[in-house]
Chain A
């Protein structure tokens, strides 16, 4: 399923490149798409909408107990306080990690992912190995991300089979008393909000 940057030696990908170009030409000539709108869509998801959005949400939940309560009660409304909303996050549920519970999100059926707070999903999230094994062998999959949890921690896997999107609220790392929201957001990784990673520790950021 991987198709990284190998198109120089794979003729099928060259065919794909030609086909996409042909299709865009046809659709533009017929007036169905506006190339300027396509450029803005790409720019938005490459530069504006990404996991830094979710990191701000998590950092606020770590510092503001009222916000944390609002976020867990109604994630969809709580993220609008940052101006985040809409496509692929129309209905957002935030699930909280605790000392005894670790949450992990997958979409076994396709690639459902909370775009408004995490941007577009990485290739591994959309890949057959993750989609097939996250539900049956979550500890094994976590191990492939370098994450080892104690045997007594319960793992809750959330399979996004509807339009509800899930975001993991990781635990705030120890040793961060007095840190600002901006500093804390630097500790929040994309994978920690999917549940395939943990936040960085204070010593890992400058």
Chain B
């Protein structure tokens, strides 16, 4: 969806690097980070569901929140949707209902093995790859109301397949609870001028990772 999170090519002003930046800027950021990471196990959601829970909100709301405030809003939404907590409990600051059965906590012993393992998204391919390195492709014009990882700024533009990554979980369905439905994943490189017109830096290119169904083939003679 073209939510406020899809920022590529817009202009939100100058970047402000922060010398000697701390990992966290406040105690609440530490806790919001840890709660979000730790709740994935008892909550049972996946990373694509968390991303959609963060981005599926009005632009003004997304842009008015700091980074970890967005994480927090996404976390609350994921928990409320699954009846893990109630709004009354969050307001009261205490548990008022028994816990949802089967929601087991991440323990201190399992933190490091869980981080080391991560959540690899590579899956066995069910079909041969449609594209190979060097093929020209056009990114589809699309704006689904749900989660997608094709940024708006490449849609309709022509690029070249640069890398082939194998078959990976498809975020558009995974975010909606509709399964992994893995697809071939490619890095597609677009010339700066193809994306931004004649005023673009002629020495620049932008690569995005795109799943096969985001791309249309362009015949060699076209």
Chain A positions within 8 Å of B, measured between CB atoms, are 1-5, 7, 13, 16-17, 19-27, 29-34, 36-42, 44-46, 50, 85-91, 93, 106, 108-111, 116, 119-120, 122-124, 126-133, 135-139, 141, 144-145, 151-164, 191, 196
Task: Kindly provide the distance from the CB of B27 to the nearest chain A CB, expressed in whole angstroms.
Answer: 7
- Contact of A26 with B90 at beta-carbon distance under 8 Å, contacts A41-B33, A108-B6 already known: yes
Among A22, A31, A136, max chain B CB count under 10 A is at A136
Residues of B within 8 A of A123 (CB): 18, 21, 25, 67
Q: CB within 8 Å of A: which residues of B?
A: 5-18, 21, 23-28, 30-35, 37-39, 42-43, 47, 51, 54-55, 63, 66-67, 69, 72, 75-76, 84-85, 89-95, 98-99, 103, 105-108, 110-112, 114-122, 149-151, 153, 163, 165, 168-169, 171, 185, 187, 189, 195-196, 200-201, 203-211
A189 to B138 Cα, complex, angstroms: 37
Q: Is the CB of A110 within 8 A of B54?
A: yes
Interface centre among A7, A123, A196 (most CB of B within 10 A): A123
Q: Chain A residues with Cβ under 8 A from B116's Cβ?
A: 85-87
Contact among B6, B90, B105, B115 for A33, CB-based, below 8 A: B105
From B66, B95, B114, contact of A1 by CB (8 A)? B66
Complex CA gap A153/B10 in Å reads 24
> Is the CB–CB distance between B115 and A124 below 8 Å?
no
CB-CB < 8 A to A128: which residues of B? Answer: 7, 10, 12-13, 63
Instruction: Provide the bound-state CA to CA distance between A44 and B33, in Å.
Output: 12
Set of chain B residues within 8 Å of A2, measured between Cβ atoms: 16, 66
Enumerate chain B residues within 8 angstroms of A19, measured Cβ to Cβ. Answer: 72, 90
The answer to whether B6 and A23 have CB atoms under 8 Å apart is no
Which chain B residues border A91 with CB–CB below 8 Å? 120-122, 165, 168
CB–CB B93/A22 < 8 A: yes
Whether the Cβ atoms of B185 and A33 lie closer than 8 Å is: no
Q: Tell me if A23 and B120 are in contact (CB < 8 A).
A: no
* Chain B residues near A137 (CB-CB < 8 A): 201
Residues of A within 8 A of B72 (CB): 16, 19-20, 23
Given contacts A22-B90, A108-B7, A132-B9, A31 and B108 within 8 Å (CB-CB): no
Residues of A within 8 A of B150 (CB): 161
Which residue in chain B gives the minimum CB-CB distance to A1?
Answer: B66
A124 and B15 within 8 A (CB): yes
CA distance A115 to B144 in the complex (A): 30
- The residues of A that contact B38 with a CB separation of less than 8 Å are 33-34, 37-38, 41
Partner pick for A85 among B21, B118, B207, B211, CB 8 A cutoff: B118
A33-B42, A34-B105 known; 11 new pairs, CB 8 Å cut-off, are A2-B66, A21-B93, A23-B85, A40-B111, A108-B153, A120-B33, A122-B18, A123-B67, A124-B15, A132-B9, A161-B149
